[in-house]
Amino acid sequence: MKTIKRISTMLVVIFSIISYTGQAQNCNNGKILDHKQFDLRTLESKWDTYVKNPGFKALLEEVKSQGFTRIEKNDKTAWGFKADFVSDAELGTSPQEAEVCAFDFYKKTPGGGQLCSMLWRKVGGTIYKAYIIFPEGEKDAARSFEKSIEYYADENNKIQRAHSFGKCWAKCIFKRFSATNCAGAIVACGAAAAGLTALGLGITTPVALGIFGACAGIACLYPLAICAAYCL
């Protein structure tokens, strides 16, 4: 009887530890330190550096082959930052250097236009390079991220299908940070789309990594940066 009780107690302890770890290891418990958002000049310089990377270059060639063109030298279509990222403050994880940048692309279609983003994410010694294609005509920002198609360059610079960053970022921002001022920032981003429409791009909803980060990041910087550094 004592043995059974002892085993039961051990199982409860183990279950509690697993539950605690599972709850703690999410973007709600992450935090960023010494954050610096990049200006357009820095972002363009970063782009020039990234395109020299073989994996990023392979992704870029594939993006171009699908008819997308980068919306370059535009502070509404690129976003990035560097910071020290603590993945889980509750568990006391050590800070890691983080650098995340996103650059948007556009393709004219019979229905108007479609957006694509290229991503460079480095946290500690791990680099993730990818591109994300957003569904054409989707008006809801959260659903657009959830329906996005993502590909990344592996360690051999081969392009593989992914299901990670875009969907994780959307879940982190729209669900876990839904009670913050991000909700208002998302609505306000309609102005960004209007500005891009005025440029003749025909964009009706601001759904792309660079556009969304550059716009919502003004009022939603902390959650956006945490989610970007956290997701992989």
| 6 falls within a domain | no
Residue 199 pLDDT more than 70?
Answer: no
Q: Is residue 43 part of a domain?
A: yes
Q: Examine residue 22 and state whether it is found in any structural domain, yes or no.
A: no
pLDDT of 146-186, one tens digit each?
A: 888 999 999 999 999 986 788 887 777 776 666 555 655 65
Helices 190-198 and 209-230, axial angle in degrees (round to 10)? 140
Residue 3 inside a domain? The answer is: no
pLDDT at 91 over 70: no
pLDDT at 133: 94
Q: What's the pLDDT score for residue 12?
A: 31
Best CA proximity match to 102, nearest among 85, 117, 84: 117
pTM: 0.79
Instruction: Round to whole Å and give the CA distance between 6 and 17.
Output: 17
> Quick check: is 84 in a domain?
yes
Structural domain containing residue 130: 29-230
- For residue 192, tell me if it sits in a domain: yes
Indicate whether 72 belongs to any domain: yes
How many domains does the chain divide into?
A: 1
